[in-house]
Amino acid sequence: MNFVFLSPHFPPNYYLFCRRLKEAGFTVLAIGEPEFGELVPELREALTWYCKVDNLHNYDELKAACEFFTERFGKIDRIDSLNEYWLETEARLRTEFGVYGVQNDTIADIRHKSRMKKIFAAAGIPHARGRLVNSPAEALALAKETRFPVIVKPDDGMGAAFTYKLKNAAEVNEFFSGKPDREFIAEEFISGDIVTFDGVADREGQIVFCTSHVYGEGVMETVLADSHIYYYSTREIPADLEKAGRKLVAAFNVRERFFHFEFFRRKDGTLCALEVNIRPPGGFTVDMFNYSCDLDIYALWARVMTGKPVSVDYARKYFCCYIGRKHRLPYKHSEEEILRKLGPALVQHQELPPVLARAMGDRGYIVRAETLPAIMEAVKYIQE
C-alpha cells in the first residue's frame, strides 16, 4: 500500500508515524518543504521517496508530487499528515486522486464549528449556544440570550488563534471595527473545566483505544494570558464522558482516524460539548498515550491503517501530565533541580518549536505517576 504523508517533519515526534508505517509494510512517500538532508535520519530511513516542494500551501506543487508518485509507484492508497493545519488540503487531494478518507464534501463537518453544533444537536449532546456573526448587532443579540462574556473565534479556526473573550458592547464594537476578513462564530461563555475524550477508531468505526485528559487551564485562556499550561490523562474515564464521546464517534462517522473531542465539565457536573477534532490531540499528547499505558500508539495506528482487524490489550497504568514553562516567567526551580527532584517520574522533557510555544510553553515536561496527588505535586514544583 502506498501512503503519502504530508509534512512528516512537523510536529517533531511525527516521524514515528512514518517509521511505524514502513514497519507495517507500507511504501511511505512524503512531501515537505525541508531539504531531504535536513530530515532526521530516522525519518529519512522510513521513506521510500521524498518530494521537496517550495511551499506546502501551493496546491499545484502537491498535486504534481502525487501525480509523480502515482506514475512511479501506482495508485495512492492513503494521504494524511495527522495535522489539523492540512485537513482541507488532504481532503482536496484525496478527492482528486480517489483516495479513501475524508473528502471535499465532508471536510466542513469537522472543520467548521457551526457545522459541528448541528451534529451535536442531532446526536442529543448538550453544547455551547452559538451562531455565525457578521455584525455587532448579531453578536449583541447572542449576548442578550446568553449574557456576557461571549467568545468569538474563526468558524474554521485552529487552537486559540484569533479567539477573543468579549465582556461588553464596547468590546463587541471594537472587535468588529478591526475584524479579520474571515467568518467568525460567537458562543456563550461556559464556566468549567475542559475534559477530553481521545482515541483511535478503526475502519469500521470501532474504538480500538481511548483515554481522557483534564486541563488545568484551557488553551484559549493560556494563549490570551500568555501563561503556562498543564493537563493530565486520567486512569479512569467518567461514564458520562465515555458515553458522550462514543456517540460523537458515531455521529461524525470517525473511521480509521484519531479523534480528540473537547467538553466542558460545568460546575454542576454536567458535560457541554465544545468541539471535535478528527486528528490526534496536539503537542506531545500522543507520547502521553504511550507513557500512561506502556503502549506504542504509533504502531497501533499503523496497524489500523492496514485495514486488518486490530485488538490491543491495554491498561491506563499511570496518570500522565504535560507541564509547560515559558522563558519569560521567573520560576523558582531550575532545570537541574527539576531533574533531581522528579527522577524517573520525569519521562520526557524538551524545548518546543516556536510555533507551539504560545500555547504549550517554551519548554515542556511529561511526568507520570500512579496517583493524582503525585502529579499535582510535580505540577506545583515545575511551575512554581
Which CATH number is 41's domain given? 3.40.50.20
User: Are 223 and 287 part of one and the same domain?
Assistant: yes
Is pTM beyond 0.85 here? yes
- Residue 358 C-alpha from the chain's centroid: 15
Q: How far apart are CA 164 and CA 97, in angstroms?
A: 38
Quick one: pLDDT at residue 222?
A: 66
Quick one: pLDDT at residue 126?
A: 96
Placement of cell 475524508 in the chain: 102
> How many angstroms separate the Cα of 120 from the Cα of each of 35, 150, 213, 250?
43, 20, 20, 11
Q: How far apart are CA 340 and CA 186, in angstroms?
A: 46
Which CATH number is 343's domain given? 3.30.470.20
Which CATH number is 152's domain given? 3.30.1490.20
User: Are 202 and 270 part of one and the same domain?
Assistant: yes
**pLDDT digit string (tens) for 132-179?**
999 999 999 999 999 999 999 999 988 777 899 999 999 999 999 999
Residue 113 counted as domain residue: no
Quick one: pLDDT at residue 355?
A: 87
Assign 117 a pLDDT band (cuts: 50, 70, 90).
Answer: very high
**Residue 218 predicted with pLDDT over 70:** no
User: Are 170 and 227 part of one and the same domain?
Assistant: no
User: Are 358 and 237 part of one and the same domain?
Assistant: yes
**Residue 223 predicted with pLDDT over 70:** no
User: Are 58 and 37 part of one and the same domain?
Assistant: yes
Pairing of β 150-154 and β 164-166: antiparallel
Q: How far apart are CA 247 and CA 244, in angstroms?
A: 5
User: Are 158 and 65 part of one and the same domain?
Assistant: no
**Residue 225 predicted with pLDDT over 80:** no
Task: Kindly report the three-state secondary structure assignment for every residue of 327-344.
Answer: CCCCCCCCHHHHHHHHHH
User: Are 163 and 201 part of one and the same domain?
Assistant: no
**Overall average pLDDT of the 327-335 stretch:** 96
User: Are 270 and 339 part of one and the same domain?
Assistant: yes
Q: How far apart are CA 365 and CA 343, in angstroms?
A: 12
Q: What percent of the chain has pLDDT over 90?
A: 91
Residues spanned by the domain of 101:
2-105
User: Are 144 and 218 part of one and the same domain?
Assistant: no
Q: What is the tally of structural domains in the chain? A: 3
**Is it true that the peptide bond before 11 is cis, omega within 30 degrees of 0?**
yes
